[in-house]
Amino acid sequence: MFSKKAVTLMIVLATSLSLLLSACGPKTPVSPPPPAAGTTAPVATEAPAQPKKVVTLIFTQEPDTLNLHYTNMWFSAILQQLWNRWAWEYDENNNPFPVLVAEMPSVENGGLSADGTILTLSLRDDIIWSDGEPITADDFVFTWEMANAPTNTVASAYPYSEAVSVEAPDPQTVVVTFAEPFAPWLYFFHGILPKHVLQPIFDAEGTLDNADWNTNPTVGAGPFDFAEWESGSYLRFVRNDNYWGDKPKVDEIFIRIVPDDASQIAALTAGDGDVGIFIAYPDIPTLEGAGINVVKVFSGYNEGWYFNMGQNGHPALQDVLVRQALAYGTDRFIINQDLLLGKTVPAATFWDGSPWADPTLMAYPYDQQMANNLLDQAGWVDSNSDGTRDKDGVELILRYGTTTREIRKDTQAVIQQQLAEIGVGIELYNYESDLFFDTFGNGGPVATGKYDIAEWSDLPGGFPDPDTAYWRCAEIPSDDSPQGVNWEFICDQELEDLFALQSTQVDTAARIETFHQISRIIFEKVYWLGIWQDPDIWAVGSRLANVKLSGVTPFFNAAEWDINP
Amino acid sequence: MTRYIVRRLLQAIPLMFFISLVLFVMMRNMGDPLATMGGRTMTRSEDRARLTRQLGLDKPIIVQYVYWLIGNDWTKIDMDGNGVAETPGTRKGILRGDFGLSLVNRKSAMQVIMERLPNTLILMLTAEVVIITGSLLIGIYAALRQYSFTDNLVTTLSFIGYSMPIFFVALGLMYIFSVNFKAWGLPYLPTVGMFDPQIGKTFWQTVWHMILPVITIALTSFAANSRYVRSTMLEALSQDYIRTARSKGLPRRSIVFVHALKNASLPIITVVGLDLPFLLGGAIVTERIFAWPGMGRLFLDHVSRGDTPVVMGILMLIAISVIAFQIITDIVYAWLDPRIRYN
């Protein structure tokens, strides 16, 4: 039908166009290709070139920046240990260990004053930036100054805003002074900024907001150097030959951005990636079947219910008996077993999995009879025989909202059915997370009390530090405080006093005891109901060796990673 | 013709203002970019209040639109929260070529868009060439053999492709030709990305990684386009001038490709002309599944984080392209059909 000429013309046209566009695209050759099979080595006496050791990580979200002070993204933060190590980091058991400091500060070694108001760091004397400049106390002071500079739109000024001063009496000593004892001091000095690189930029522009270093950090303090970042596609880190610690065993860490969960599984299974994260529970058997190790890492998250006990909430939720009935009336064990394949268990407290939770507390068992008794006792009975309990003409129908995450929608459906069996009606609502978590000031659905039960997964803000603002009285949102995060609208004075106390306790044992009391109150009064413990699920390919993962600084031992021969 | 083009361009100016205002208002009501800032937890209330002020999100929406349009370098901003505006604004506004800074990574919104545009053009133009070529081949072949077995077979197959959701086609192809082919010991295609990090970003790596995404886009587009070609060709082939050409003994190839196809191509050009500007928007689902770093993914990622400067930049780029390509289509029309005159 077509002449060969016409067909050839079409093919040439298509190929030429592709070629032209490729030429127009980003020209960042990643690395010289390995010698093609069958080619002869140029010099017979040279040892054959070893193939590059490249570890490919798959991220389902693209980091927004590499400057830790400008991001809340977990995917940005976890890259830090590859290229810019912290004062201290956390091991696979989430225990802190010194990195840039010679030893962990403590009252015993004088690093922490007895009254908890002065923190003194002794830096190692062998630490250097990747350009060879020494890392000194001035870099720490500069970091504190930049976090607090009003012209920098940093994501969070906390905890730097809590320090009265940060000083450098000598190049190896950093002294932090607080107005009051500051218990969460471990949250300090993540993401140290190189003063010799960034001070001139700040002086010239008055801000670090637009510094090229934020997305193209030419200088770092980690085992790998940042090499390049192609938007939406990949980030590449190569071995830092100037690294002050043990030299990394692999040549390159390649971060591939794969936003689709199913594609991530396919890529891991096909060997196009070595490490994946946020594996959905139903995908675990597929990966294990392909010989990929699935690793659960506790990262502080627990999925749970937040009850609306404010004016807009259902009146039944004011009664602790009703809240306890909801705890007994929902079979969270079967949800964990069926929807989460038995890979996790119901959380008893907001601090489950950490020493801050009272270990004697066990998740409420599923007991329909107990739930019915409690509701009867609270006066909620089905007086009009419509299948739903009521009291004083008010039906016990609760609005249950959460995000659009699939596992949450499945959970909603199961719980709706379970609670119907004890005469509690449930209306379901789902929102995209940026709408769901919108503020009171912007009319966010949870913040303005449009739901009686809201579900999400969270951790203490400075994990592994246990402090949280969720139940603080001053955080109840209002017109005067539209950004408040106490969306349960609870102000329990006993709880308030304990939260205030713990924030000043630098004695860890005493603080743990305070948190045991806090977790017990929240548990008994059911201010929060755990649905499941929410560990991070990692997939680690079988060709990788020595991989340990932390829940706080996942890549803390990246320099030790290797590839099995 | 020149007057026509100038008139169309002048008409586009108020239209662009209207479109931009509507899109801006919609965008700013699609959630709070500071709610989680892409993280797994809510932003601390103190930081949220500070960032709202520093980024100008506390201003009335019409003021934010004015800043986006003409910049804020004529006014001052309260950066330190003491109630006194002390820091001069730095934005120039879209009318002076400044699309603003991305709320996600603080890079220039235009830079963010331009980093992705080449990748989308590589994928989408290649796919469009494959679609047009394939649709012409299928459509003309089917028109010349109307109601034959081959016509019915091609029609059926193309409609199977058309009726399947694109994510299903994409994942199906990926699992068959990448995961399963590897498991079966056959040569297999890559699953995601634009190149193998062990080899590097070369021309052939890009071509190799583009095969599955291009096939995915093409499979779901062949049906509509080939049916369109078929029907316009059938209409052209039934015209008197074709009968005259045949009776004069012109070669069949000349009748089909010179006389019939040229006249049948007018409505096809309309369809292609309207399609082209949307190529800039990329293929959201295909790019997401194959991890192709194009505009579709950029749009999706930044919409979900309420990044008004980048999303508005993409939308305005598409809006301008739609207007530009409509004018180009009209010009091509006049070139192909001498009877058309724009007065």
For residue A48, name the pLDDT band (cuts at 50, 70, 90).
low
> Would you call A51 an interface residue with chain B, using a CB distance cutoff of 8 Å?
yes
What pLDDT sits at residue A538? 97
What pLDDT sits at residue A43? 42
Per the model's pLDDT, the better-predicted residue between A360 and A353 turns out to be A360
Closest chain B residue to A154 measured between Cα atoms?
B51
What pLDDT sits at residue A121? 97
Highest mean pLDDT among A20-24, A373-377, B124-128, B334-338: A373-377
Give me the total of CB pairs closer than 8 Å, taking one residue from chain A and one from chain B: 246
Percent of chain A with pLDDT over 70: 91
CA–CA dist B3, B342 (Å, integer) = 9
- Indicate the range of A368-372, A423-427, B164-168, B186-190 predicted with least confidence: B164-168
Smallest Cα distance from B13 to chain A, Å: 30
Radius of gyration of chain A (CA): 27
For B184-189, what is the mean pLDDT? 93
Assess whether pLDDT exceeds 50 at residue B152. yes
Contact A319, A389 (CB under 8 A): no
Q: Residue A435 is inside which H or E element, if any?
A: helix A433-436
Integer CA distances (angstroms), A414 to A420, A491, B32, in order: 10, 31, 30
CA–CA dist A100, A362 (Å, integer) = 39
Smallest Cα distance from A360 to chain B, Å: 28
Per the model's pLDDT, the better-predicted residue between A435 and B194 turns out to be B194
CA–CA dist B306, B302 (Å, integer) = 6
Give B-chain residues touching A263 at CB under 8 angstroms: 171, 174, 191-192, 288-291
Number of residues that make up chain A: 565
A399: which strand partners? A427
Give B-chain residues touching A160 at CB under 8 angstroms: none
Give A-chain residues touching B79 at CB under 8 angstroms: 150-151
Across the interface, do B202 and A34 touch by the CB < 8 Å criterion?
A: no
Give A-chain residues touching B116 at CB under 8 angstroms: 231-232
Of B43, B119, B253, the CB nearest to A3: B253
For A263-278, what is the mean pLDDT? 95
Q: Residue A175 is inside which H or E element, if any?
A: strand A173-178
Give B-chain residues touching A1 at CB under 8 angstroms: 140-141, 144
Per the model's pLDDT, the better-predicted residue between B38 and A361 turns out to be A361
Of B125, B203, B291, the CB nearest to A256: B291
User: Which residue, among A7, A11, A15, A21, would best test binding to B if mutated, counting the most B CBs under 10 Å from its CB?
Assistant: A21
Assess whether pLDDT exceeds 50 at residue A37. no
Smallest Cα distance from A49 to chain B, Å: 14
Across the interface, do B38 and A64 touch by the CB < 8 Å criterion?
A: yes
Assess whether pLDDT exceeds 80 at residue A23. no
Contact B161, B222 (CB under 8 A): yes
Across the interface, do A263 and B174 touch by the CB < 8 Å criterion?
A: yes
For A22-37, what is the mean pLDDT? 39
Across the interface, do A434 and B33 touch by the CB < 8 Å criterion?
A: yes
Across the interface, do B178 and A266 touch by the CB < 8 Å criterion?
A: yes
For B46-72, what is the mean pLDDT? 90
What pLDDT sits at residue B262? 82
For A:444-463, CB contacts with B below 8 A are: 444, 457-459, 461
Q: Which residues of B224-250 are buried (b: 16+ CB within 10 A; e: fewer)?
A: ebbbbbbebbbebbeeeebeebeeeee
> Would you call B321 an interface residue with chain A, using a CB distance cutoff of 8 Å?
no
For residue B222, name the pLDDT band (cuts at 50, 70, 90).
confident
Closest chain A residue to B252 measured between Cα atoms?
A1
Across the interface, do B144 and A1 touch by the CB < 8 Å criterion?
A: yes
Of A19, A65, A258, the CB nearest to B105: A65
**How do residues B262-276 score in pLDDT, each as one tens digit?**
888 877 787 787 777
* Fold of the CATH domain B112-336: MetI-like fold (1.10.3720)
> Would you call B188 an interface residue with chain A, using a CB distance cutoff of 8 Å?
yes
**How do residues A445-460 score in pLDDT, each as one tens digit?**
999 999 999 999 998 8
Assess whether pLDDT exceeds 60 at residue B2. yes
What pLDDT sits at residue A47? 58
What pLDDT sits at residue A90? 95
Give B-chain residues touching A437 at CB under 8 angstroms: 32, 35-36, 42
User: Which residue, among A231, A252, A481, would best test binding to B if mutated, counting the most B CBs under 10 Å from its CB?
Assistant: A231
Across the interface, do B121 and A21 touch by the CB < 8 Å criterion?
A: yes
Closest chain A residue to B174 measured between Cα atoms?
A266
Across the interface, do A74 and B200 touch by the CB < 8 Å criterion?
A: no
What pLDDT sits at residue B342? 65
Assess whether pLDDT exceeds 50 at residue A36. no
Closest chain A residue to B202 measured between Cα atoms?
A29
Integer CA distances (angstroms), A20 to B133, B275, B295, in order: 19, 21, 19
Across the interface, do A24 and B118 touch by the CB < 8 Å criterion?
A: yes
Closest chain A residue to B206 measured between Cα atoms?
A22
**How do residues B303-328 score in pLDDT, each as one tens digit?**
888 899 999 999 999 888 888 888 88
- Which among A562, A560, A552 is positioned nearest to A92, based on CA atoms? A552
Assess whether pLDDT exceeds 50 at residue A41. no
- Which among A23, A540, A286, A266 is positioned nearest to B291, based on CA atoms? A266
What pLDDT sits at residue B322? 86
For residue A35, name the pLDDT band (cuts at 50, 70, 90).
very low
Closest chain B residue to A57 measured between Cα atoms?
B197
Closest chain A residue to B121 measured between Cα atoms?
A21
Contact A303, A335 (CB under 8 A): no
What pLDDT sits at residue B221? 82
Q: Which residues of B19-57 are buried (b: 16+ CB within 10 A; e: fewer)?
A: bbeebbeebbeebbbbbbbbbbbbbbbebbbbbbbbbbb
Q: What is the dihedral sign for C-alpha A429, A435, A441, A447?
A: positive
Assess whether pLDDT exceeds 70 at residue A45. no
Across the interface, do B47 and A155 touch by the CB < 8 Å criterion?
A: yes
The structure tokens listed for B45 are: 């209330």
Q: Delimit the CATH 1.10.3720.10 region(s) of chain B.
A: 112-336
For B:59-118, CB contacts with A below 8 A are: 79-81, 87, 101, 104-107, 112, 115-116, 118
What pLDDT sits at residue A16? 47
> Would you call A432 an interface residue with chain B, using a CB distance cutoff of 8 Å?
yes
For residue B154, name the pLDDT band (cuts at 50, 70, 90).
confident
Q: How many CB atoms lie within 10 A of CB B342?
A: 14
Closest chain A residue to B179 measured between Cα atoms?
A270
Average pLDDT across chain A, whole number: 89
B76: which strand partners? B88
> Would you call A231 an interface residue with chain B, using a CB distance cutoff of 8 Å?
yes
Contact B85, A154 (CB under 8 A): no
pTM for the model = 0.84
What pLDDT sits at residue A494? 96
What pLDDT sits at residue A50? 76
For A153-160, what is the mean pLDDT? 91
**Any idea what DSSP says for residue A381?**
B
> Would you call A102 an interface residue with chain B, using a CB distance cutoff of 8 Å?
no
For B:216-245, CB contacts with A below 8 A are: none
CA–CA dist A490, A487 (Å, integer) = 8
Per the model's pLDDT, the better-predicted residue between A314 and A25 turns out to be A314
CA–CA dist B272, B174 (Å, integer) = 28
- Indicate the range of A453-467, A537-551, B258-272 predicted with least confidence: B258-272
> Would you call B133 an interface residue with chain A, using a CB distance cutoff of 8 Å?
yes
**How do residues A64-120 score in pLDDT, each as one tens digit?**
999 999 998 999 999 999 999 999 999 999 999 999 999 999 999 999 998 889 999
Environment class of residue A196 by beta-carbon count within 10 Å: exposed (0-12), middle (13-18) or buried (19+)? middle
Across the interface, do B289 and A485 touch by the CB < 8 Å criterion?
A: no
